[in-house]
Amino acid sequence: MEPVQRRLCAIIAADVVGYTRLVEHDTEGTVAAWRSARDEIITPTVKDHSGGIVKLTGDGFLAEFPTIQQAVACALEMQKQLEPGPLDFRMGINMGDVLDDGDDIHGEGVNIAARIEALAQPGGICISNMVYDAIRNRVDAGFQDLGEHNVKHVSAPVRVWHWQTATLREPEDISAVIAPAPLPGEPEKPSIAVLPFDSMSSDKEQEYFADGMSEDLITDLSKVSGLFVVARHSSFIYKGQSVDIRTVASELGVRFVLEGSIRKIGDRVRINAQLIEASTGGHVWAERYDGSLEDVFELQDEVIAKVVSALSVQLTSRETDNLKRVHTHNLDAYELFVRARATPFPPLPERIESARAMFEQVIGMDPEFAGGYAGVSSMMSFGGIFGHVQDTAILEQALEMAQKAISVDEYFGWSYTAMAMSLLSQRNYDAAIEAALKSIALQPNDADAHAYLGFILGFDGQYEKNIDAINQAIKLNPQFVFGPYLNMRMMTQTIAGDYAGAIDSFEENQRRGGPVGPPVLAMCAAAAIGLDSPKEATQYVENLKHRFPNFNLATWNMPRLIREQETRDRVMQLMREAGVPES
């Protein structure tokens, strides 16, 4: 038996994202692609950087290098060469003392590399803080701080940094993803709303099934950057109504409307769908789709393909792949997920808690569906952002649940919105913005993704971009009366010092009958003082004290999320001058 050797080295741990699912879909093609990547790129690149392959796994590899710089340079080179290929790799790099038994290497350094590799996004590289400190001024690559993470079997948290290839990384110019929405009918970006499909049954459960189908169609169409798609909350206000298509299109600001019906009998399902051009009321197409219940997602794909084809939309290769992905095959779990997403509005504590409990049920029904984890994370983060929850354990759990959602399904866009919310609650602004941009990249028409990007930008001090992003959310979801978008805009306008604009946003929200909670009233009082209107400020404060007698500045989280100390002090002083209760 060869003696066990001990040495210090840099380690790369890597694997293929979603390998099991890819093998199920195309075993021979996936295996051939892995072999090609291994033989033509990975092995020679490791050798070129003085490294060695320790072992190959079914979908990844472990490699070691004499120095950190060689390991990082190798990983960067590999990802740049692998990126155009059919497989997405993620990698983790750490430095540590290892034990070599002749067949494998062991030790905490290896363990950390493997654990942080799982945090990397497709095409990305995660490195430990030790590695970052060693290469920060020696490698021409931008790494972003993901904060500290608890690593299994490691006593102290590990600070992690992340890098992605240029084509997978989110746009550096945020304005590229928050540009104002196109006007209805603009040929380069057709606008569409999906009305809630009618259930052709009096059974309440079949109604949930029909709602789930409509939600899924909206979600899939929202993945297409060449479309402008109105959000679910706005289109669902017409549920159960006999509507005039021209009126609906005008109110939602779209040119096309997709409507239909669903009948479920036993294990069979029939979908009737029609695409209507609102200006003429004429049918672009109308078809019936019949199939078994287990094939319902494939039937949805046919409807989506027909819409995209009819509107002459060009899909990117990544959008084509995303539209083929089914996030859950459990219809009951998806229906409950749809109900849970609609539950926390208006955002009252009891509604948020009810939604969280429903999302936990979704996890129990389908542990492989990212939606449940993302939902629980979001509901936990609500308290850390808008309320008085300052429990570090809860906020860390929110981040862990978002990470779990991404590890289960890295293509489920809402997981990254949940990640962004949890990172904001921990004041990790750069990483929160990156996560929000990732969410928009996966679902360009998701109104919440734009809204939370804007909200984070506002607290980060990027005020112009912040307003553009929130306004985009409002355009995507114009009838979401109980939604928080106008409140978000009002609060961040106060932070920016646009006091008149803040009051205008508040009054617009009141005219719509939107929710008004203590954060809004406190910020309105600050804005009124900023406008030298003490009488109006007093009215806001009296309303606040009457409706929310337990609210106070001492335990309220939101002001501490303002990044710049000077700005935070200004806003707090305005609220104190207005008479908002201190404790």
- Contact criterion met (CB below 8 Å) for 532 and 523: no
DSSP string, 255-316: SEEEEEEEEEETTEEEEEEEEEETTTTEEEEEEEEEEEGGGHHHHHHHHHHHHHHHTTPPPP
pLDDT for 224-264, tens place per residue?
888 999 998 899 888 888 888 888 998 998 989 999 999 88
Q: Rounded to an integer, what distance in angstroms lies between the CA atom of residue 118 and that of residue 112?
A: 10
Is the pLDDT at 50 greater than 90? The verdict is yes
Within 8 A by CB and 6+ apart from 40, the residues are none
Is the pLDDT at 3 greater than 70? The verdict is no
61-73 mean pLDDT: 92
- Contact criterion met (CB below 8 Å) for 117 and 92: yes
| Strand 228-229 relative to strand 191-194, pairing | parallel
**SS3 of residue 380 by DSSP:** helix
Q: Provide the mean pLDDT of the chain.
A: 86
Question: Looking at residue 146, what DSSP letter applies?
Answer: E
201-222 mean pLDDT: 82
Q: Which CATH superfamily is domain 5-164 in?
A: Nucleotide cyclase, GGDEF domain (3.30.70.1230)
- Count the Cβ atoms, other than its own, within 10 Å of residue 250: 13
316-326 mean pLDDT: 73
Within 8 A by CB and 6+ apart from 203, the residues are none
| Strand 268-277 relative to strand 256-265, pairing | antiparallel
pLDDT for 152-209, tens place per residue?
666 678 888 888 664 333 444 555 555 444 444 333 478 999 999 998 876 767 787 8
Burial state string for 201-238 with b = 16 or more CB within 10 A and e = fewer than 16: eeeeebbbbbbbbbbbbbbbbbbbbbbbbbbbbbbbeb
pLDDT value for 165: 60
In 428-478, alpha helices (H): 429-442, 447-460, 463-476
Q: Rounded to an integer, what distance in angstroms lies between the CA atom of residue 230 and that of residue 478?
A: 8
First to last CA, the chain: 70
- Contact criterion met (CB below 8 Å) for 117 and 90: yes
pLDDT for 551-562, tens place per residue?
999 989 899 999
pLDDT value for 187: 36
Averaging pLDDT over each range in 156-170, 289-303, 308-322, which range is the top one? 289-303
Is the pLDDT at 221 greater than 70? The verdict is yes
pLDDT band at 27 (very low <50, low <70, confident <90, very high): confident
Q: Is the peptide bond before 187 cis (omega within 30 degrees of 0)?
A: no
pLDDT value for 317: 67
pLDDT value for 182: 42
Averaging pLDDT over each range in 7-16, 315-324, 561-570, which range is the top one? 561-570
pLDDT value for 309: 81
46-54 mean pLDDT: 93
Q: Rounded to an integer, what distance in angstroms lies between the CA atom of residue 517 and that of residue 346?
A: 10
From the candidate CATH numbers 1.25.40.10, 3.40.50.300, 3.40.50.720, 3.90.78.10, the one assigned to the domain spanning 329-443: 1.25.40.10
| Strand 89-100 relative to strand 124-128, pairing | parallel
- Contact criterion met (CB below 8 Å) for 419 and 399: yes
Is the pLDDT at 445 greater than 70? The verdict is yes
Question: Looking at residue 518, what DSSP letter applies?
Answer: H
Show the tokens assigned to 550. 């337990």
CATH 3.90.190.20 fits 187-324, yes or no: no
pLDDT value for 185: 39
Q: Rounded to an integer, what distance in angstroms lies between the CA atom of residue 204 and that of residue 213?
A: 14
- Contact criterion met (CB below 8 Å) for 379 and 344: yes
Is the pLDDT at 361 greater than 60? The verdict is yes
Show the tokens assigned to 42. 């990975």
pLDDT value for 21: 67
Within 8 A by CB and 6+ apart from 168, the residues are 83, 88, 121, 122, 123, 124
pLDDT for 466-497, tens place per residue?
999 999 999 999 988 877 899 999 999 999 99
Q: Which residue has the higher pLDDT, 38 or 26?
A: 38
Strands (E), 172-267: 191-194, 198-199, 228-229, 256-265
